[in-house]
Amino acid sequence: MANMRMDKNPMPEQDPKVRTGNFDETALGYTAEAAVDEAKRCLNCREPRCVEGCPMSVPIPAFIARVAEGDFKGAYETLFAVSNLPAVCGRVCPQEALCEGRCIRGIKGEPVAIGRLERFTADWHIQNGGASPDDEYAEPNGHRVAVIGSGPAGLTCAGELVRLGYEVTVYEAMDRPGGLMMFGIPAFRLPRSVVEMEIVRLESLGVEIITESTVGKMDSVDELFEQGFEAVFIGSGAGMLQKLDIPGEDLPGVLSAKDLLMRAEELGRDAMAGKRVVVAGDGDMALDAARTALRLGAEDVRVLCGHPVDDLPARREEVHRALAEGVTFLPETAPLEILAGEDGHVSAVRISGREPDLLEADTVVVAVGAGPDPLLLHTTPGLDSTATGGIAADAATGATSRVGVFAGGDAVTGVGTVISAMTAGKSAAASIHKYIQGK
Ligand SMILES: Cc1cc2nc3c(=O)[nH]c(=O)nc-3n(C[C@H](O)[C@H](O)[C@H](O)COP(=O)(O)OP(=O)(O)OC[C@H]3O[C@@H](n4cnc5c(N)ncnc54)[C@H](O)[C@@H]3O)c2cc1C
Ligand code: SF4
pLDDT digits (tens, 9 = 90+) for 396-408: 999 999 999 999 9
My answer on whether 343 and 404 are in the same domain is: no
Look at residue 223 in the predicted model and tell me its pLDDT: 97
Identify whether residues 25 and 122 lie together within a single domain.
yes
Reference 23, options 185, 176, 179; nearest CA is 185
Answer whether residue 2 is part of any domain: no
CB burial of 87-114 (b: ≥16 within 10 Å; e: otherwise) equals bbbbbbbbbeebbbebbebbeeeebbbb
206 and 293 in a single domain? The answer is: no
In a domain, 270, yes or no: yes
Nearest CA to 191 out of 52, 365, 28 is that of 28
Centroid of ligand 2 to alpha carbon of 427 (angstroms): 25
Structural domain span for residue 197: 136-240+371-437
Q: Looking at the structure, do residues 236 and 376 belong to the same domain, yes or no?
A: yes
Q: Mark which of 67, 102, 127 sits at the end of a domain.
A: 127
For ligand 2, the distance from its centroid to the CA atom of residue 60, given in whole angstroms, is 7
pLDDT score at 129: 81
The total domain count for the chain is: 3
User: Quick one: 230 and 201 in the same domain?
Assistant: yes
- 68 found inside a domain: yes
In angstroms, what is the span from residue 55 Cα to ligand 1's centroid? 18
**Which residues contact ligand 1 via a Cβ below 6 A?**
92-93, 148-154, 171-174, 179-181, 184-185, 214-216, 235-237, 239, 261, 284-285, 288, 315, 373, 375-376, 409-411, 415-419, 421
For residue 232, tell me if it sits in a domain. Answer: yes
Q: Which residues of the chain have pLDDT under 50?
A: none
Q: How many CB atoms lie within 10 A of CB 118?
A: 28
Q: Could you tell me if 78 and 166 lie in one domain?
A: no
Task: Indicate if 100 and 25 belong to the same structural domain.
Answer: yes
Centre of ligand 2 from the C-alpha of residue 42, in Å: 5
CA distance 157 to 170: 10
CATH assignment of the domain containing 74: 1.10.1060.10
- Which residue among 42, 44, 99 has the greatest number of ligand 2 atoms within 8 angstroms of its CB, and so is best to mutate? 42
Residues 33 and 114 in one domain: yes
Does any ligand 2 atom lie closer than 6 A to the CB of residue 105? yes
The domain boundary, picked from 317, 343, 368, lies at 368
CATH number of the CATH domain containing 416: 3.50.50.60
Which of 90, 106, 127 is the last residue before a domain boundary? 127
Virtual torsion, Cα 174, 20, 320, 10, nearest 10 deg: 100
C-alpha distances (whole Å) from 260 to each of 26, 243, 372 are 19, 15, 20
pLDDT of residue 194: 93
- For residue 121, count CB atoms less than 10 angstroms from its CB and return exposed for 0-12, middle for 13-18, buried for 19 or more: buried
Alpha-carbon span 293 to 299, nearest angstrom: 9
Write out pLDDT tens, residues 353-393: 999 999 999 999 999 988 899 999 999 999 999 999 999 99
Closest CA to 273 of 390, 408, 363: 363
**Position 7 in a domain:** no
Q: Is residue 151 part of a domain?
A: yes
Alpha carbon distance 176, 331 (integer Å): 36
Q: Which residues pair with 12 in a beta bridge?
A: none
Site to substitute for ligand 1 among 89, 180, 262, 368, most atoms within 8 A of C-beta: 180
Establish if 299 belongs to a structural domain.
yes
Q: What are the backbone angles phi and psi of residue 218, rounded to the nearest 5°?
A: -95, -105
User: How far, in Å, is the centroid of ligand 1 from the Cα of 234?
Assistant: 12
The pLDDT of residue 324: 97
Q: Are residues 392 and 360 in the same domain?
A: no
6 domain-assigned: no
- Same domain flag for 101 and 165: no
**Under 8 Å between Cβ of 150 and 170:** yes
152 and 112 assigned to the same domain = no
Same domain, 347 and 295: yes
- In this predicted structure, what is the pLDDT of residue 28? 97
